[in-house]
Structure 1
Amino acid sequence: MEAGMNLAPLPLAVFVVDADGAVLSWNRAFENLAGYGPDDMRGRKLDAVLALDDGAPLAPALAEVDMTGQLLCAGGHRMSVRLTFAPHSFDTAPGNYSVILLPLPGQGPPRYALLQDFPVAELIETLPCLFYVVDRSGHLLLWNRQVENVLERTGEELPTMNVSEFFDDVERQPVIDKILAAFEHGSSSHEADLVGRHGKRTSFLFNCARTTLGNLPVVFGTGLDISERKKTEQGLRVSERAMYSSVNAILITCCSHGENLIEYVNPAFEQMTGYSLAEIKGRDPRFMRIEGCDMHEHQRIRMALRAKQSVHAVLRNTRRNGEVFWNDLRIDPVVNIDGKVTHFVAVLNDVTQARQYERRLHHLAHHDALTGLANRTLLQERLKIAVESAQQGMPGALAFVDLDNFKHINDTFGHDVGDCVLREIANRLHAGVREHDTVARMGGDEFVLLITEQAGETVVAELLERLRRNLDRPIVVRGKEVIAGASFGVALFPRDGDTVDRVMRAADSAMYHAKTLGKNNVQFYSIGLNEVVRQHLLLEAGLRNAIRNGELALGYQPKVDLRTGHVVGAEALVRWNHPDEGLIGPDRFIPIAEETGLIVPLGDWVIMQACTTLQVLAALGIADFVISVNLSPRQLRQRQFVEHLAATLQHFHIHPSTLELEVTESQLMDNPADALEALAQLKHLGVRLSIDDFGTGYSSLSYLQKFPVDVIKIDRSFLGDIAGEGNAVITRAIIALGHNLKLEVIAEGVETREQLSFLRDHDCDQMQGYYFSPAVPRDILRNMVCSGLRMAV
């Protein structure tokens, strides 16, 4: 085949010479530029076609890569051109050179004029991609404007540069390898970044194909800008890695023929559920649901999927091992470029522990920690519903349950045993009612029963009586039997109240009534109880004010020595001068003071008044007079009571032996060990100690010997019928016991001559009572003592 006959037209003039300068092949652009025909070029040498400006001999091996010279055209004229001698670096048989001619400006037809002769010139220029032709030397022979724009270079520069210069160092060898692969195998493709003059980088997908232009082997190809695709791919890789590494379980389904089938799950999903992607791919995720559970949530999910919308749900699913877990699920649709939903992405969170913790918190917020019963909050919520239902014909009952002996159990056996008793009481109450009834603990030893849909007062009474008898049975704790006992106060609704507050107040009134009737009984609310409770509350409120407003008064009942008849002491007895009711005896307000804790400030006031009286008598020279004050259990249990008492005595300059503190026998025996310790501290302070109401309790003689007391007082009940053989025997025994223990014995409540004679005959030490004098004010007591008033002996 003749050289140049099969060459496709190219805008750049190029021909190939060997090492000796013989022309081997050329293209039509060279023929058009130089004006030679194919026959003119055969056998020509390099120096017959080109000449250097300085007239030096021209040899390819010695020539500079880029220089200027003269093209010796047909017809004898010359054209100034830029010459590029490029060795065939991509050739497996080096030694040949490509000679590329580029007319200098103004010397020949421009590239774009030459390009018009190219049959597909317009197409190449308008391609949305790079177009290029490269020879074995690695130089561009043809390119479109896109190449210039990307490389930020002019058309005059490009032929003088090797294409490898358009890439980073690390990419040059792979690019050369791909071009060589096209020369050797016919085609190749690769991705690489072109680098412009000013550093601009653009990613391209290059596709190369081998061809020949006459006898000139070349590679032509296209470069498709894939920068956006690269960014997208990078984003997808980041997203994929994020999904893969996410601690949240992720599941992707593909929408196909109305179904949503699993296409991908991440490792977190596999770890959460126990299912691998391989075993569930192509399945509908609904296989993990629990039939019959969370039906409303499943319905919401189905509706959202049909509507191609997002949805959030919390429901239960099963793991591969059958374990149930709570799943916080978020599902979102994925839309393609056409706006069609093709996939759904689901993010799953195992919230089992959070759900359990939430339920635990809810339980703790609504249940008693010790017994597990409903607490006040939950009781009021349920009572509100029950009271509202009662308006619709479903009556109910509310019962307050208060343990009768719990304080004694706590003080005697300790709080651990007390807690065990409370739990057992809770179990017995819960076991004795229906499942839909409510048993609540309000705190301390107070329980409440909410009985719904009750059939009437008789049925409720029978139920509560059974419960009362059950609570009255002994409770064995750590080998010890204790009996709690309980009092029940009951209100029926809507009969006794149509609001939560009214029903609870009615039940509380009934409870108060049960306590006043001797405890361990069941009492229903009645209208008359309102007045009783109201008076109780008024008395409590009035007592608080009485202490502040000076309404309390202290009377002193003299104590007489039965041998001499002299007044040797007195018992301080508090009275309340109520502004409306007049004088109120201690039997009415002392129990309220004990119940409410007002007994502590009241007791402090009594001690201070007694000390004031002792101070007045001491100033008159009466130094051995003794005033006794009743001490409440609450005062005795106060940790700093002894220190406070010592400060009071020091403030009034009172000798401790002139103050006598009276404690009851039952008070000491409630908790003998603690009582012994408290009395020892008081005795160390120097005050006198007396056991009041002796004989009415159940004293242990062994403890009686240990208590550091000075006096025992015979209860007035043993003097009521002194002629009776039983009382006489007990009274004689108490006097003898006291003297044998070297204690003084005082009889209180002496009202008759017969009682006085009996006490003298049996050597009782002192007496007090109406026979000699009732309680008198301080001034009268002072006059009585100063005047030397005596009782006849």
Structure 2
Amino acid sequence: MNLSPLPLAVFVVDAAGVLKSWNKACEQLAGYTAADIRGMTIDRIIAFDEPAGGKPRMAARVDAENVGTVICADGRRLPVRVMVAPQSFDPDQSGTYSVIVVPRAGQLPPRYALIQDLPVDDLIEALPCVFYVIDQSGHLLLWNRQLEEALEMDTEDLPTTNVKFFFDEKDRAMIVEKILRAFEDGSSHHEAELVGKHGKRTAFLFQCSRTSLGNLPCVFGTGLDITARKHAEQGLLVRERAIYSSLNAIVITLCDGNEHRIEYVNPAFEQITGYTLADIKGRNPRFMGLDGCDLDERARIRAALGRKEGVRSVLRNVRKNGEIFWNDLRIDPVVNLDGEVTHFVGVISDITEARHYERRLHHLAHHDPLTGLANRTLLQERLHHAIEHATRHQTVGALAFLDLDNFKHINDNFGHEAGDAVLREIAGRLRENMREDDTVARVGGDEFVLLICDQPDIERIADLLERIRRSVTQPVVAAGQEIVPGTSIGVSLFPNDGDNPDKIMRAADSAMYHAKTMGKNNCQFYSSELNQIVHEHLLLEASLGRAIREHELVLGYQPKVDLRTGKVVGAEALVRWQHPVDGTISPERFIPVAEETGLIVPLGEWVIDEACGALKAMDALAVDDFVISVNLSARQLRQRQFADRLAATLARHGINPGKLELEVTESQLMDRPEEAMEVLAQLKALGVRLSIDDFGTGYSSLSHLQKFPVDFIKIDRSFLRDVPHDGHLVITRAIIALGHNLKLKVIAEGVETREQLTFLRDHDCDQMQGYYFSPALSQQTLQEMVSRDARLPD
């Protein structure tokens, strides 16, 4: 039997209940004509069981469960349910309401009774999709909560916005066209993204159909969230593109019983093998195999495919042009939704070139490319066997670490090509002095290792290493220059100093490190006492970094006195380390460590900052013409933009640059005189004072000395230790005279006796510092001394 349309009557009324429009079902349900209905109020047609309450009668029934009776034209009374909804979505009918009338059970056949009792609003809200009704102006009349969530909008905002604005600007023309097509053709469908108020984007498949509410044409429809499908499609596209663009050859085969027929190959496969898909589609890939070769591997592949398992193999195949190539092949099964293996994917990497160079790579893996010597890997292998041999046969072997002294200086001054030439020459000399059975290795930039086996005694080893040291230190001609290298050698013996390569190498490294601390260009053997020294040195290095961070360093200030007036005119800042466990650590211990590790740079910056703070405190006491001097290291002097950072520090403390004196040693200046001159000129331009420390202990060129923009020279304390010694008297007098002739002031340090003071005054030395007047003082004690104008006694 055919189902007639459900008599769903819809009225549109104003706030007072006056009927504005209705559908045909209203006339059929109540039996009135359009002429009868026009002008009636809703109460004339529907008798509600419950009064409207205190609100305007229609507003009070919105969202309420309304029941009543339709008063038909012929006097019949028909029980109905009534739903009232505002029509605020229509700007032309503000303040109007939709009244939907549904007959109650018993008034229609049982099937209709079931339908009419369905909770339509609950069904719409429970739909697994968005639901909407749109009028011809493009505004929403009805929707469910899923649409609100997708658009991130409140109920009151939805009807006031044209639906095209729920989509990205590029899709709006298409949206309008699809809605118009539904009005014209009865239906349409499309895919698009809803864009939420806060940027949320959701892809939907929309289905639209034409209908009407009363006399109002509209479109209703659903939107199914297809985000997951879109992501899956995008993933497939990406993977398809990845396969297509892969540099590795990819072949996909279809399982056809025991056969595996080619369905797809990517461009890389065509390029590597020379075969196009048209050439080989439907064939089994094994046709490319090289007859008689790799039979075991091919049998293993067939067995894995028979078990529907993945497999990996390296074997040879033949290109279309007949060339043989090595390929690294990986095959993996593809399983469908039912768990069945339907395809296999093979990935081929052409490793022919790698195979051709395998032997050469093996050599490179064990030898240094610059010198051709063994590298660390080969050295450790041979050392392991040598230790086992020495232990088993009770012989003595040695491992010697050679580090070229000042190799960085060679690179910096003569260039890296000259440095490489020196390394190659040294490598040749080491090979010439070693036996064929021994090993010469290069394990670092300028580090060489000698593995010496089967020696009768330690004296023979020592003689060999001394001969090697003398050979290494012979001049090398490179870049048209004669370069004289030096080397520090550390030696460990096996099995005496260890029973494995790691211990032996650490021991030799420690011995070499000790050789450097002993003045370089010498050879040292490992011992337990040496290990303790190196261990303490490493602990000191680790603690020094912490000491700088934890403010364990303090400055002492040794006063400088004018020898003519006896007045304190300045002080030298001397750093001390107050270790929380070991107490005071002298600079002689930790400054060399700071120099080696580079910590001298942050340490030096801290000293300058502290000294500037002390000068600021002196300014607060109204002390004029007081100068604090600070020692500079070679690393500081070579720091880029050192002068700029110093200027910033002076400005931050508000210090007159002329009150800060920077001391550099004679050896620092003469190491790289041209660079030093440039940096000193920058510092002098700032206005700071400059002095040469330890003057007389180096090898200054007078032509260079008179060009350096310095203000003071300091006589090293070694020239004052034995004043009666005529040789020292002559040198000290000459230094004072030289300084004055160069218009420089002369300062003597380390003055400890009355005789030294008298000698300096007699020869017109300008200033002195030393224990005779005062040791280094704290900042507070120095301020008190200067404030009370303490002076050197006559």
Q: TM-score, structure 2 length as denominator?
A: 0.56
CA 1:789/1:500 → structure 2, altered by over 3 Å: closer, same or farther? same
CA distance in 1, matches of 2:417, 2:709: 30
CA 1:246/1:787 → structure 2, altered by over 3 Å: closer, same or farther? closer
CA distance in 1, matches of 2:379, 2:624: 61
CA 1:364/1:742 → structure 2, altered by over 3 Å: closer, same or farther? farther
CA 1:619/1:634 → structure 2, altered by over 3 Å: closer, same or farther? same
Which amino acid letter does the alignment assign opposite residue 665 of structure 1?
E
What is the deviation of 1:577? Answer: 1.5
Q: TM-score, structure 1 length as denominator?
A: 0.56
CA distance in 2, matches of 1:589, 1:303: 65
Q: Which residue of structure 1 lines up, in the alignment, with residue 485 of structure 2? A: 484
Q: 2:327 touches 2:352 (CA, 8 Å); kept in 1? A: no
Q: 1:468 touches 1:486 (CA, 8 Å); kept in 2? A: yes
Are positions 1:379 and 2:359 aligned together? Answer: no
Which amino acid letter does the alignment assign opposite residue 583 of structure 1?
T
Deviations 1:247-289 (A, max 9, x none): 8799xxxxxxxxxxxxxxx9xx9xxxxxxxxxxxxxxx99xxx
CA 1:470/1:671 → structure 2, altered by over 3 Å: closer, same or farther? same
What is the deviation of 1:459? Answer: 2.8
CA 1:435/1:529 → structure 2, altered by over 3 Å: closer, same or farther? same
Q: Which residue of structure 1 lines up, in the alignment, with residue 470 of structure 2? A: 469
Are positions 1:503 and 2:504 aligned together? Answer: yes
What is the deviation of 1:697? Answer: 0.8
Q: Which residue of structure 2 lines up, in the alignment, with residue 663 of structure 1? A: 664
Q: Which residue of structure 2 lines up, in the alignment, with residue 563 of structure 1? A: 564
What is the deviation of 1:412? Answer: 4.2
CA distance in 2, matches of 1:526, 1:443: 24
Q: Which residue of structure 2 lines up, in the alignment, with residue 451 of structure 1? A: 452
Tell me, what secondary structure is at the counterpart of 1:791?
Answer: coil
CA 1:356/1:372 → structure 2, altered by over 3 Å: closer, same or farther? farther
Worse-superposed segment, 650-659 or 403-412? 403-412
What is the deviation of 1:452? Answer: 3.6
Number of positions where the alignment pairs a residue of Structure 1 with one of Structure 2: 493
Q: 1:739 touches 1:745 (CA, 8 Å); kept in 2? A: yes
CA 1:450/1:739 → structure 2, altered by over 3 Å: closer, same or farther? same
Tell me, what secondary structure is at the counterpart of 2:392?
Answer: coil
Worse-superposed segment, 473-482 or 579-588? 473-482
CA distance in 1, matches of 2:327, 2:608: 71
Q: How does 1:15-94 map to 2 (within 5 A)?
A: none
CA distance in 2, matches of 1:431, 1:639: 43
CA distance in 2, matches of 1:650, 1:514: 44
CA 1:374/1:785 → structure 2, altered by over 3 Å: closer, same or farther? farther
Tell me, what secondary structure is at the counterpart of 1:706?
Answer: coil
CA distance in 2, matches of 1:522, 1:759: 43
Which amino acid letter does the alignment assign opposite residue 744 of structure 1?
K
Which amino acid letter does the alignment assign opposite residue 640 of structure 1?
Q
What is the deviation of 1:772? Answer: 0.9
CA 1:557/1:246 → structure 2, altered by over 3 Å: closer, same or farther? closer
Q: What residue ranges of structure 1 are gaps of 5+ in the alignment?
A: 1-244, 251-265, 270-284, 287-297, 316-324, 331-348
CA distance in 1, matches of 2:483, 2:496: 37
Q: 2:272 touches 2:350 (CA, 8 Å); kept in 1? A: no
Are positions 1:354 and 2:354 aligned together? Answer: yes
Q: Which residue of structure 1 lines up, in the alignment, with residue 578 of structure 2? A: 577
Are positions 1:402 and 2:403 aligned together? Answer: yes
Q: Which residue of structure 1 lines up, in the alignment, with residue 745 of structure 2? A: 744
What is the deviation of 1:435? Answer: 3.4
CA distance in 1, matches of 2:272, 2:527: 65
Q: Which residue of structure 2 lines up, in the alignment, with residue 690 of structure 1? A: 691
Q: 2:326 touches 2:352 (CA, 8 Å); kept in 1? A: no
User: Over the residues paired in the alignment, what is the CA RMSD in angstroms?
Assistant: 4.2
Are positions 1:597 and 2:586 aligned together? Answer: no
Q: Which residue of structure 2 lines up, in the alignment, with residue 531 of structure 1? A: 532
CA distance in 1, matches of 2:420, 2:686: 36
Tell me, what secondary structure is at the counterpart of 1:392?
Answer: helix
CA distance in 1, matches of 2:423, 2:685: 38
What is the deviation of 1:761? Answer: 1.5
Which amino acid letter does the alignment assign opposite residue 756 of structure 1?
L
CA distance in 2, matches of 1:467, 1:743: 48
CA 1:303/1:592 → structure 2, altered by over 3 Å: closer, same or farther? closer
Which amino acid letter does the alignment assign opposite residue 536 of structure 1?
H
Deviations 1:13-52 (A, max 9, x none): xxxxxxxxxxxxxxxxxxxxxxxxxxxxxxxxxxxxxxxx
Identity of aligned residues (%): 66
What is the deviation of 1:724? Answer: 1.9
What is the deviation of 1:327? Answer: 8.2
Q: Which residue of structure 2 lines up, in the alignment, with residue 545 of structure 1? A: 546
Q: Which residue of structure 2 lines up, in the alignment, with residue 197 of structure 1? A: none
Q: Which residue of structure 2 lines up, in the alignment, with residue 703 of structure 1? A: 704
Q: How does 1:174-573 map to 2 (within 5 A)?
A: 353-355=353-355, 357-359=357-359, 361-393=361-393, 395-573=396-574
CA 1:303/1:737 → structure 2, altered by over 3 Å: closer, same or farther? closer
Tell me, what secondary structure is at the counterpart of 2:383?
Answer: helix
What is the deviation of 1:357? Answer: 4.2
What is the deviation of 1:508? Answer: 2.0
Q: Which residue of structure 2 lines up, in the alignment, with residue 642 of structure 1? A: 643
CA distance in 2, matches of 1:497, 1:780: 55
CA distance in 2, matches of 1:632, 1:576: 18
Q: What residue ranges of structure 2 are gaps of 5+ in the alignment?
A: 1-269, 276-287, 304-312, 317-322, 329-348
Deviations 1:688-722 (A, max 9, x none): 11111111111111111221111111111111222
CA 1:409/1:536 → structure 2, altered by over 3 Å: closer, same or farther? same
Q: Which residue of structure 1 lines up, in the alignment, with residue 173 of structure 2? A: none
CA distance in 1, matches of 2:398, 2:714: 48
Tell me, what secondary structure is at the counterpart of 1:663?
Answer: strand
Q: Which residue of structure 2 lines up, in the alignment, with residue 29 of structure 1? A: none
Which amino acid letter does the alignment assign opposite residue 715 of structure 1?
D
Which amino acid letter does the alignment assign opposite residue 383 of structure 2?
L
CA distance in 2, matches of 1:699, 1:356: 60
